[in-house]
Structure 1
Amino acid sequence: MQEIERKYLVLSQDFKKESYENFSIKQGFLNTDPERTVRLRITGNKAFITIKGKSSKNGLTRFEWEKEIDIKEAEALFNLCEPGIIEKTRYLVKSGDFVFEIDEFYGENEGLTVAEIELNNETDTFQKPEWLGEEVTGDIKYYNSQLSKNPYENW
């Protein structure tokens, strides 16, 4: 499966008023090789393991495979993760036919808020809310796998 998404910095907290849902996420990485990442994620009472391939040159597209796993197994697997667990709240905001996923980070990444929008095609257009800032698609320092190694507080 191909994932096509664009990533942006967020200028203000105004997105919270537009959010129709939010939830906490804890994630860690079993592997952060540039060719592939293997991520564990716990969201509420569900857990997932995800494998992501290397991004295309423009950063818009990459292979992604995800499978739900038992939450107790995920909690045990966190013991094998590389250092740098990510904790954040994700907010969902509709924008026409699409949904922005806005991540407000905590811990070592406190102060960073990033919005992603998953598209059907690289050429899809969408309405850009006023709180949406600079596009950082393809800038690997904003990948969660990199934030776990070089957190925002170190920039």
Structure 2
Amino acid sequence: MAVPPNIAELKNLEVLSFLNNQIKELPTQISSLQNLKHLNLGMNRLNTLPRGFSSLPALEVLDLTYNNLNENCLPGNFFYLTTLCALTLSDNDFEILPPDTGKFTKLQILSLRDNDLISLPKEIGELTQLKELHFQGNGLAILPPELAVVSCVFETADEG
């Protein structure tokens, strides 16, 4: 399935879900959705995000679960999505989390389950609003000491 460029015409759209549609790429016009608050792109085949992706000034929830993303797939301006409250990057191919993740100062939920993470950046300590951090199913040997200042619930192993 391809996302048509004329999606930009949906000016008042607040919630958009493309869950499980085999999408390989997004048109840059998606950045024109100025009222978009919740974007679910889970269970697709994305291996890149468009450059203008950070131009979503109202975006609060972004789900990128089950794609083919890694740290090199994120455009540099991705970290300007400063309105994000929940970011789900689970079941992708991340080996590292970029230090710019610390710019998501409003983030309350960060899910990194089942990637290939070997470390977390010290900047994760800048996420002072974080309430939930999910990172089970990775290769993390140690956690950065800066994480101690964040008062959140860690989920490190599957329960049940």
Which TM bucket (shorter chain)?
under 0.3
Question: Higher relative contact order at CA 8 Å, sep ≥6: structure 1 or structure 2?
Answer: 1
Q: Could you state the TM-score of these two structures normalised by the residue count of structure 1?
A: 0.26
Q: Could you state the TM-score of these two structures normalised by the residue count of structure 2?
A: 0.25
